[in-house]
Structure 1
Amino acid sequence: MRIEYRRGEAAAVGLAEARRSALIHLPVQFGSNWTSLMGAVEGVLRASGDERDTDELMGLSGFAFRLAARPDVSPDSVNALHWAVDIPAALARLGYSCEVLYAGPDDPLRQFRLTVAHSRIVEQLAAGRPVVAWRIGMPEFGVIHGVDLAEGTYAVSTALGERGPSTIPLARLGSGEVPVLCVIFLGERYPLSEEEVARAALRFAVRHANGKDPDLKSFDTGLAAYETWIASLREGTADPFGNAYCAQVFAHARGCAARFLSRLAGKGWRNAQTLALAAGRYSKVTECLEEFTELFSFPPDPAALASASNRQKGASLLRSALYYERVAVATL
């Protein structure tokens, strides 16, 4: 006999019964976002009734302001952060507690953590809470919103949408060429002052732009990442896929930043004029990066990056983006 529990029903019958059931399924859809972590988080929050839009979630979390790159501009630049520290901090600015269960490939407790992860995922799903996890169907973050214990599969939602898998084997969790386990369990939402969390997000934006993360040894972050990216184009070291993918991710993020700041400027706070100026400058950053995405489209055409004139024009666009972002950060 197959039993399906949907939102609320699993919690009603109790965890033990849900764990024995054949199927738990929660209606969740991945958010529309090039930053996969925040697309997954948005999907989970929407399912819980949190209706804040992409711009607000990206802005308050700080992901609208993130930028990282290394000399080859690899696609993993978009997820270059200290997951166990930076993810809880980002979600805290959204008002949520969370637990990050992480295990790298050399973690001696890796198998134990995998066992705990599977148990916690089923527990969360049974309570009506989908979870965010790394590398489910693709090397990005996605949502686990169901489990079929009889078939040994998780129901998933990823940035690929209908082009991606709807289920993955349980054994795939934490697997891949570099087997990394990262599962994010969102907790309760706490009431926070809108102005205070917005100011915390802006402090993060300035700190990230001007700082170097010691945990990210091979990556430059913030304004310095632009210089690394520019150098990769001039020296011909940029990866075609990573260059085009990072451009899409960061162009979308800066668009979110501009709209987020513009929205804050309209709230009548004492620094409204400053916020409006910063919003305008981030709009200029977005224009430069969007023009860059037209030059280096995604999926990538290797010939585009092979062209010296394209690389020169791309470097010029990044230099302009760097100028406007530096001014925006100074404004903040």
Structure 2
Amino acid sequence: MKRLDVSWDGVYDSTGYLFSFAKSLACAVKNSPWAEGAEDLVASSGFAFRMWVSPDLCPSATSIWDFESQKPWVENGGFTCGYVGRYWGQENLEEQRRLEAVELIKRSIDSGIPAVAWDIGVPEWGLITGYDDQREKLAYLSITGEAGKMPYQELGKREVPILSVLTVTGKTDKAPEDILRDTKRLAVQHLTGGEWCDNAKGLAAYPALIRHFEADFNPDLSWNMEYFLGTFGALKYYAWKYLEKMGEKELADLYREVDQAWQEAFAIKKGEDLSQPEVRNRIAQLLSGAHQKEIQAVELMSKTG
């Protein structure tokens, strides 16, 4: 088996719940010739700004978005990539797309870069790290940290049987100022509800999440609340650091405060008794404050994006 030595080490994850696509993408780039661009790409692809929240806080809400947009979103950050997808209602394309995806993966592994793929180990994003044509096996690294193998035939046919494979193939000459401009455009488009999703998205995700710490509190959803706080809270760091690096002081200051609010909310959820109304109220207030900061950020990015 041809296999890359890859781990999640070096991918900053403040909560342990960093959105699995963003974490996988950053790890793939860190294991490429363009490793210095890994953290920037989490922001420039727009994922540092994205939020999706379902009414019942089902974790799968974070994986309901337009998978076909992965390629243009990643390429916004000045990278080139390969992509193969096959979704619901496309069963007639199943074998063709699977074969295309396996070839895409093999080319990426041969170039020394792991491939980002859906439903790897668990129904989240993970990495394909190797292949064995003789045994028709893929090596993988799950977002859980589990390393294992799976048959070629299982690709796109596991717990949530859709196919999505993205590979990072190169860099373009897109100027940093153009990447920044288009990143703001992507962020505004998402935060104002312009990107497809069946659930509350962008700024609307805030009230959808906050209500679970207020009138709609259900102790049975305690872990779900932690998952959403951790998944999106860990992304805010990447928005802050990218904007700071690009000299966008006012925006960076806003996202530094947004990041701090989410981090504190997550820490309270992890360390205190959520059954106490005053504990939930503190989390709700922190999220409400972050919401207002992101509203201000949208106004700024709309003017300068």
TM-score for the superposition, normalised by structure 2: 0.85
Question: What's the CA shift for 1:78?
Answer: 2.9
Question: What's the CA shift for 1:212?
Answer: 4.1
Alignment partners' CA distance in 1, 2:109 and 2:256: 40
Residue identity opposite 2:285 in structure 1: S
Aligned residue runs from structure 1 range 243-254, under 5 A: 243-254=225-236
Per-residue CA deviation, residues 185-209 of structure 1 (Å, 9 max, x unaligned), is 3333211111111111012212221
**Count of residue pairs the alignment pairs up:** 292
Aligned residue runs from structure 1 range 135-146, under 5 A: 135-146=119-130
The answer as to 2:262 corresponding to 1:279 is: no
Other structure's SS at 2:121 match: coil
Question: What's the CA shift for 1:304?
Answer: 4.8
Question: What's the CA shift for 1:53?
Answer: 4.9
Per-residue CA deviation, residues 18-60 of structure 1 (Å, 9 max, x unaligned), is xxxxx22233334624122222222222332112255312222
Question: What's the CA shift for 1:124?
Answer: 3.9
Q: Which of the numbers 256, 265, 273 marks the counterpart of 2:238?
A: 256
Q: Gaps (5+ residues) in structure 1?
A: 1-22, 266-274
Question: What's the CA shift for 1:255?
Answer: 1.5
Other structure's SS at 2:122 match: coil
Alignment partners' CA distance in 1, 2:100 and 2:238: 36
Per-residue CA deviation, residues 237-274 of structure 1 (Å, 9 max, x unaligned), is 68333321221121121112112111111xxxxxxxxx
Structure of larger gyration radius: 1
Question: What's the CA shift for 1:92?
Answer: 0.9
Q: Is the 8 A contact 1:64 1:253 kept in 2?
A: yes
Q: Is the 8 A contact 1:154 1:169 kept in 2?
A: yes
1:272 paired residue number: none
2:43 paired residue number: 59
What's the C-alpha RMSD, in Å, of the aligned pairs? 2.5
Q: Is the 8 A contact 2:29 2:113 kept in 1?
A: no
Alignment partners' CA distance in 2, 1:81 and 1:177: 18
Alignment partners' CA distance in 2, 1:208 and 1:61: 11
- Runs of 4+ in structure 1 deviating by more than 6 angstroms, as ranges, are none
Q: Identify the range of structure 1 (225-234 vs 196-205) with the bigger mean alpha-carbon deviation.
A: 225-234
The answer as to 2:90 corresponding to 1:107 is: yes
Aligned residue runs from structure 1 range 74-85, under 5 A: 74-85=58-69
1:29 paired residue number: 7
Alignment partners' CA distance in 2, 1:153 and 1:203: 41
Residue identity opposite 2:241 in structure 1: R
Q: Is the 8 A contact 2:79 2:169 kept in 1?
A: yes
2:27 paired residue number: 43
Q: Is the 8 A contact 2:29 2:37 kept in 1?
A: no
Q: Identify the range of structure 1 (201-210 vs 75-84) with the bigger mean alpha-carbon deviation.
A: 75-84
Q: Identify the range of structure 1 (309-318 vs 280-289) with the bigger mean alpha-carbon deviation.
A: 309-318
Residue identity opposite 2:262 in structure 1: L
TM-score for the superposition, normalised by structure 1: 0.79
Alignment partners' CA distance in 2, 1:168 and 1:307: 45
Question: What's the CA shift for 1:210?
Answer: 1.6
Q: Which of the numbers 177, 188, 193 marks the counterpart of 1:195?
A: 177
Alignment partners' CA distance in 2, 1:288 and 1:59: 19
Alignment partners' CA distance in 2, 1:160 and 1:121: 21
2:109 paired residue number: 125
Q: Gaps (5+ residues) in structure 2?
A: none
Q: Is the 8 A contact 1:74 1:239 kept in 2?
A: no
Per-residue CA deviation, residues 94-136 of structure 1 (Å, 9 max, x unaligned), is 2223332222244222233223323443344345443211111
Residue identity opposite 1:223 in structure 2: L
Alignment partners' CA distance in 2, 1:178 and 1:156: 17
The answer as to 2:217 corresponding to 1:233 is: no
Alignment partners' CA distance in 2, 1:178 and 1:311: 33
The answer as to 2:263 corresponding to 1:290 is: yes
